[in-house]
Structure 1
Amino acid sequence: MDDEGFISGQYGNSSVFDNSKDSDIILKCGAKRFYAHRAILRLWSPFFARSLNSGFPVAESAVFEIDVDDHAAHKPFCALLKHMYGMPFGEHPANESQQCEKSQSGLEHCIRVYMAADKYDIPSARLAAVNSAQDYLAVSDFPEEYPHVPEEIAKICGPGAPQLADGAMRKSLFEWVRDKFDLISQDPNFAEKIKDGSLLDAELNTKLLFELGAKLRRQKTMGR
């Protein structure tokens, strides 16, 4: 069995996921319950390793409560679990794809999975979600057909964005905004958020101005 095949999900077995056979813990996510295995949770997540190895009652409980923000929170968490069972996010047919209908943002799903992976400290899933977000934004030079993109970027990069332990998604989305700034500044949805300061927080706005200024100076120097 080659490492590349395992990483890509080629050997992922969807029949093991959420199967009561041999399960030794139930993860309760809102109204949804998932049959899981402590060994797999500890293997993929330092958070679960600490929680399930602690001396507190939660370590021995048959049911582990997953914090939920809304009624749909089980969807990104389900994608996380599938990833931990060898079905990489965005790469395995049994996992939820980032290719959503236009009415449902694929980027939103990537971000929700990423935030859940950050909360429950699942490094490989964080990376997979960032890669899927990059793939989603790279479908065309500028996805003007997706008016929700500015709003989703603001959730990670804007003034009201939560403080996350890992900054990979924030860095990736900022770099996309920087590299596509000439195009997105002409789009009404982006332009509105750029003008009112809701697309990027103060730190990223300062960084953007500095890097765009440096780019302009380089272009002038090369044009001489």
Structure 2
Amino acid sequence: MVYEELERRLNDGGYMNWVKAGQCLSLLRDGLLPFTTQHARAFHGDLLNHNTQLKKPCQTSACKPEGNKVIRFRNELMHSCKLHVGDDWMRHFSTSLTKLLQQLGGVPQIATAGKHIKEMLSVDLSIYVSGLDRMDSAALDGLESDSVLHWEISPVLIGQWEVQLLQESLQESLHAADDDAKPKDPEQLKRLGGFLQANRDLGLRFSAELQAINSLHASE
């Protein structure tokens, strides 16, 4: 089987939770983007129309951004040293996410994202990678047939979700945000490097990042 290593990783429930939560946040981001962009532009346009002074460049340091106060669940997920989140964390995450989606349920893009997020939270990704069909996975999980994923899911797609999440985590660990001025987390980098080396497929995929991590450790 081509995806033996991916299947092995997803058989770890905590790692599968990590991948699922990351994909849920990606779906939420895609659903929120049109809504937030439209309202932010309208809000800023209204501010400029009522206060022309805002159109002038700021000449003091008071306008320098202080950095994102980024969302707690998202931070905990991306900075998880073990790339692993437990079932209790997932339950709290699911509850918070559901409340947010309910508040914004009138927005079409968010309503669509909410359906996919609900399905993602209930699905067992390891079953899809192992080759069982969707009806088998529903029976094993005790799910009703109408709660099974509505989009086509495959090991290739799951692998893409994993790679995207790892890529984002690596970028954040290797490059401190310009407006945050926080030092790189050596423990996070060490664990990420060890994880990539322990998984040959990911080590090959992220060879450049792994080399950068090893170089940083060598310079310490």
TM-score bucket of the superposed structures, by smaller chain: under 0.3
Q: Which one has the bigger strand percentage?
A: 1
Q: Which one has the bigger helix percentage?
A: 2
- Structure with the larger RCO, 1 or 2 (CA within 8 Å, 6+ apart): 2
Q: TM-score of the superposition, structure 2-length normalised?
A: 0.28
